[in-house]
Structure 1
Amino acid sequence: MGNLFKSVSVAIALAAAGLALNTPQASAEIGTSVVIAGGGLSNGFGTGCTYNVVANSTSWSGMNFFDNGVQFAATPDVSAPTTRTASWTPTTTGMHTLVVTQGEDSKTIVLTVGTGINAGSSCLVI
């Protein structure tokens, strides 16, 4: 009975090891959220005012940040998954589509930008 138990234990251990080796490796992946931090005296986003686009990640791969298809920032690869931050200063009013990419993954935020009055530590959007 002891040999049967050892044989079954070894078979289970080998099967588990095989499953672990056959598990697909995680690809570059943006985490659960991309948010825009900053703002000022009023709601919304304004031209000439700077905001932080913050994206969390489950990968060490760098990220790329785009506004209406134009890249405005890129972050390098890092040694461990971490949150990435890029500064964004819209230059035109109207609809903006911000896209953050990492490998094959992407997250999109669509927002409206008004005319901003940058007061240094705050931004008034009209």
Structure 2
Amino acid sequence: MSSLRNSASVAVLLSAAGLILNAPQASAEIGTQVLIAGGGLSNGFGTGCTYSVIANSGSGAGMNFFDNGVWFARTDGSPSPKTQVASWTPTTVGTHTILVTQNDDSKAIVLTVGTGINGGSSCLVI
């Protein structure tokens, strides 16, 4: 009886180990959020004005940046994880989904863009 119980225990342990080894690996490369610098609730985002799209990375791989499905930037890879930044200049008013991808991971942010008057160091959004 003891030999049967030991064999069953070994079989359960080997099955569990096989499940762990065969489990899909979670992709956790892009950090918890994507930020857009230069706009916000008080000023908003405006057409013709340039903003920084900022994403931190747990991987050294480059990132691709999209606005409503249209690619607008790629950052180069690096030997170590880092914060990656791309410049974004919206050209249309309305809702925009900024998507950042890195390998099989992605993060998105949805925002509204108004008409912008680019004043050089600032942007008036109407």
TM-score over 0.5 for the pair: yes
> Mapping of 1:59-74 within 5 angstroms?
59-74=59-74
Q: Shift in Å at residue 76 of structure 1?
A: 1.2
Q: Quick one: percent identity of the two aligned structures?
A: 74
1:89-115 deviation line (CA, Å, top 9, x unaligned)? 000001111000001110011111000
SS at match of 1:48: coil
> Would you say 1:53 and 2:53 are equivalent positions?
yes
SS at match of 1:124: strand
Q: After the TM superposition, which segments of 4 or more aligned residues of structure 1 sit over 6 Å from their partners?
A: 23-26
Q: Retained in 2: the 8 A contact 1:27–1:59?
A: no
1:113 aligns to what? Answer: 113
C-alpha separation in 1, matches of 2:43 and 2:65: 23
The amino acid of 2:35's aligned partner reads V
- Change in 2 beyond 3 A, CA 1:53/1:72: same
Task: Flag structure 2 segments of 5+ consecutive residues without an equivalent.
Answer: 1-20
Q: Report the counterpart of residue 9 of structure 1 in structure 2.
A: none
Gaps of 5+ in 1: 1-21
What's the Cα RMSD here? 2.1
* Total equivalences in the alignment: 105
